[in-house]
Chain A
Amino acid sequence: MSGLALRGISKAYGDNHILRDVTIEAKPGEFVALVGPSGCGKTTLLRIAAGLDHPDRGGVWLGERDMTAMRPSERDIAMVFQSYALYPHLTAGQNIAVPLAMRDLTVWQRLPWIGSLLPGQRVIRADIQRRVFETARSLKIDQLLDRKPAQMSGGQRQRVALGRALVRSPAAFLMDEPLSNLDANLRVHTRSEIVELHRRAGVTTLYVTHDQAEALSMADRVAVMMGGRLLQFDTPEAIYGNPAHVEVARFIGSPQINLLAGEVDAAHGIRIGGRLFVEGVGATPGTRVTIGFRPEAIKLGGPGQAGLGASVQRIEFLGSETLVFLEFARGEASLVAKLAPAEATFFRPGQAVTIAVASGEVLVFGADGSRLSVSPAMRMAANG
C-alpha cells in the first residue's frame, strides 16, 4: 500500500491560474476529500493525479514512485468519473472486465477470433470472468452483468463504474463527484457504501466533491480549496471547529457560519453593537476583522437577559432541529441560530431576544481572511 502525494502543483491556462502551489499528501490507505466551490481547481488537481492533465510545476508521487511523467495507463490508478463514463457498447460485465483485459492479456490475445486461438488466453479469460463476478457480487450488481449502460438506472451505472475501478485492485482511487448524479436518498446510502468499500480495500483514495457534508462525513482528512489555493488540509473536526481561513469557515457547515464585521479597539477587544464581544485579539488596534460563530453556538434568551439585543425574523422547523433567523442591530446584520426544537418553542417571529455566544466558540479572522489568535484569557463580555 502506498500514499499518494501531490507536491507543489501549479497549473495555468494562459493568465488563468487554475492551481497555485498546491501540496496534498495522502497517507497510505487514507481517504482524502478535496472540497471547494466549482471552479476552485479540485477536478483539475484530480486529473493531474490521474495523468490526464500535466502540471506546469510540481510532481505526483505514488509512494516512492515519481509518476509525474507517466502516462495514465502506467500509473496503476483507477478513477470513477462524475458521468461514470461507461462504454455504451459493452455490457456491465464487459465494462468491468476492460481494465483486466487490457492489463492481463497481450495485444495478440485481445484480437477478436485470432486471440481465442492463442495458447494461455483461456485460463486468463476465465480468471478475469471470476474476478469480474466477485467484484460484481460485492457491489450487488451480479444480476446486471448482461445489461448495457443504457438499460441501467443511475445508481446501477454508478456501481458498475465503481466495479470497473475496484476490479484490478489499483494502488490508488480517484473519484470525481461520483454521487452528484444520484438522487438525495441514494446519495446518502451510497456515501456509506463507498466508505465501507474503502475500509475493506484500504486503498488510498482522493475524493473530489463540492458537497461539504459529503467531505466531512466520508473523509479521514479534508482539503479545502478555493480559487486554486489549498486553504486548509486537516481532519473534518478541525476543518469545522478550527477553520484556518474565513472562506473555509464560510464554505463548511450548513447552515452557514454567522459572520460579523468589526474592528479591533485599543484594548485588543472587538465590540459588536456597542458591547465588548471578544477580548485579547492578537492584532494591532484599528484592524478590520470578521468574527464568526457557528449557528449552534448561539444561546438565545428572553429580552431581560444579558447579551446582544436582536429580534426573531423567521423560524424554520427541520425535524431534529430548528433554525431561528435573527435580525440584529436594526437590520444591519442577520444571524441564524440552531436550536433543539424544544428550546425553540419559546420564540415567535417578531419577538425581541438576546444573543449570547459560548466562550471559546468565537473565531476571529483578519482582513486577509486568515485566522487571528485570541488569547486564552478571552472572555465573552456579551455574556455579561
Chain B
Amino acid sequence: MTTQAWTLARALRLAFLSAGALIFLAPYVWMLSTAMKPREEIFSSSLTLIPERWAAVENFSKAFTRVPMLQLLMNGVIVCAVILVVQVLVALPCAYALAKLRFPGARLMIAGIMLGLLVPIHATALPIYVALSGAGVLNTYFALAAPFMISVFAIFLFLQFFRAMPDDLINAARLDGMSELAIVLRVIVPNAWPAITAFSIFSVVAHWNDLFWPQIVVTETAMAPPPLGLIFFRAAEAGDDYGALMAATVVVTVPLLAAFLLAQRRFIEGITLTGLKG
C-alpha cells in the first residue's frame, strides 16, 4: 500500500471515488454554506460557496433564540436514550433465550420476529395513535418512545450474534455457578459490545432523525424532537429565513455526527478486543 506507484489506474480510481464523495457531501456542504450566508446572498442568482459577508453569528443566534433549541436537543436526547435503553434491555434477554435456550415455541417465535421485521411503523401507526390518544398520553415522551421500545430488529441482530457464541462458553458459566440472568450480564453483554454498538448507531440515527412519528403524536414545541422542531421553526418563525433554518439544521446534525464518530471508534475497539475464538 505505502509504496504503491502513482499509476494512471490509481489516479482514475481516486478521481472516480472523489467525484462520488462530492456528490454525497454536496447537500451538507451547501447546508454549511447557507448557514453562514446572510439572507440576501442566499437568494442571489450567483452560486457561491463562500459567503461575501459572514452571517454565521446572526444565523446561529437566531436558531438558538427564535426556537427553544436546547429544549429540542434535550427532547431528542431523552427520547433516543429511552428508546435505546429499553430496546437493548428487552432484546438482550430475548435474543439470548431464543439463541441458546431450548423451549417449546422458540422456532415459532423466531418466525414471528422475522414477520415483525416486515411490518413498517406506517402500518401500525393509526391503531397505536388511537390507543395513545385514548390513554391520554399524546404530547409526552412516552408517546414518542412507546412504539419503538420493543425492536424486532434488535432481537434479530442480537440473535444472529449470540448464535455465533460458543455453547460451551455458556455451559462453562453454568458450571461456574451462574444463573441465566448472570450469564446474560456477565458473559453475553461484555462479549456483545460490537453488536450492541452497531445496533445503537442504527437506533439513534433512526429515532433522532424520525419525523413521521413525532408529527403524529406531538403538537407542542416543548415536546418536539429536533426534526419536528425544525418544521415548527420553519412554519412559524423562519418563513423564508433559510440562513437561520440551515444554522438550526447544522445544530441538529452535529450531535449525531459526534456520537457516530465516538461510537465508531468504540465499535472498532470492540471488534479487535473480543477474541471470541476458543
Task: Please report A residues at the B interface, Cβ cutoff 8 Å.
Answer: 47, 50-52, 71-73, 75, 77-79, 81-90, 98-99, 102-103, 148-151, 154, 157, 164, 181
Q: Are A85 and B177 neighbours in the complex by a CB distance under 8 Å?
A: no
Which residue of chain A has its CB nearest to the CB of B170?
A85
Chain A neighbourhood of B179, CB < 8 A: 73
Interface residues on B, range: 20 to 34
User: What is the distance, in angstroms, from A87's C-beta to the closest C-beta of chain B?
Assistant: 6
Q: Are A85 and B178 neighbours in the complex by a CB distance under 8 Å?
A: no
Contact code string B158-191 (vs A, CB < 8 Å = 1, else 0): 0000000010110111111111001000110011
Q: Are B171 and A52 neighbours in the complex by a CB distance under 8 Å?
A: yes
Chain A neighbourhood of B275, CB < 8 A: 88, 148-151
Contact code string B107-148 (vs A, CB < 8 Å = 1, else 0): 000000000000000000000000000000000000000000
State the CA gap A44–B137 with chains docked (Å). 55
List 19 A-B pairs, Cβ < 8 Å.
A50-B175, A52-B171, A52-B174, A73-B179, A81-B172, A85-B172, A87-B173, A87-B190, A88-B191, A88-B276, A89-B273, A99-B177, A102-B178, A102-B182, A148-B275, A149-B275, A150-B277, A154-B278, A164-B176
State the CA gap A208–B168 with chains docked (Å). 15
Q: Are A84 and B182 neighbours in the complex by a CB distance under 8 Å?
A: no
Q: Are B172 and A73 neighbours in the complex by a CB distance under 8 Å?
A: no
Cβ contact of B175, chosen from A73, A87, A148, A181, cutoff 8 A: A73
State the CA gap A137–B138 with chains docked (Å). 64
User: What is the distance, in angstroms, from A205's C-beta to the closest C-beta of chain B?
Assistant: 15
Which residue of chain B has its CB nearest to the CB of A107?
B182
Chain B neighbourhood of A78, CB < 8 A: 175
Chain A neighbourhood of B178, CB < 8 A: 73, 102
Chain A neighbourhood of B276, CB < 8 A: 88
Which residue of chain B has its CB nearest to the CB of A79?
B175
Q: Are A98 and B274 neighbours in the complex by a CB distance under 8 Å?
A: no
Q: Are A73 and B168 neighbours in the complex by a CB distance under 8 Å?
A: no
Chain B neighbourhood of A102, CB < 8 A: 176-178, 182
Which residue of chain B has its CB nearest to the CB of A81?
B168
Q: Are B168 and A82 neighbours in the complex by a CB distance under 8 Å?
A: yes
User: What is the distance, in angstroms, from A150's C-beta to the closest C-beta of chain B?
Assistant: 3
Cβ contact of A88, chosen from B171, B174, B182, B274, cutoff 8 A: B274
State the CA gap A78–B190 with chains docked (Å). 23
User: What is the distance, in angstroms, from A276's C-beta to the closest C-beta of chain B?
Assistant: 55
> Of residues 175 to 210 in B, which have CB atoms within 8 Å of A's CB atoms?
175-179, 182, 186-187, 190-191
State the CA gap A164–B168 with chains docked (Å). 14
Beyond the given A51-B175, A154-B278, please list 17 additional residue pairs across the A-B interface where CB-CB is below 8 A.
A50-B175, A51-B174, A52-B175, A73-B176, A73-B178, A81-B168, A83-B168, A84-B278, A85-B169, A85-B171, A87-B169, A87-B173, A87-B191, A98-B173, A98-B176, A103-B177, A164-B172
State the CA gap A245–B175 with chains docked (Å). 36
Cβ contact of B278, chosen from A51, A71, A103, A149, cutoff 8 A: A149
Which residue of chain A has its CB nearest to the CB of B174?
A72
Chain B neighbourhood of A71, CB < 8 A: 174
Which residue of chain A has its CB nearest to the CB of B274?
A88
Chain B neighbourhood of A151, CB < 8 A: 275
Chain B neighbourhood of A164, CB < 8 A: 172, 176
**Most central of B166, B169, B176, B275 by chain A CB within 10 Å:** B176
Which residue of chain B has its CB nearest to the CB of A148?
B275
Q: Are A99 and B191 neighbours in the complex by a CB distance under 8 Å?
A: no
User: What is the distance, in angstroms, from A83's C-beta to the closest C-beta of chain B?
Assistant: 5
**Most central of B175, B176, B187, B274 by chain A CB within 10 Å:** B175
State the CA gap A148–B273 with chains docked (Å). 9
Cβ contact of A77, chosen from B175, B182, B186, B277, cutoff 8 A: B175
> Of residues 24 to 75 in B, which have CB atoms within 8 Å of A's CB atoms?
none
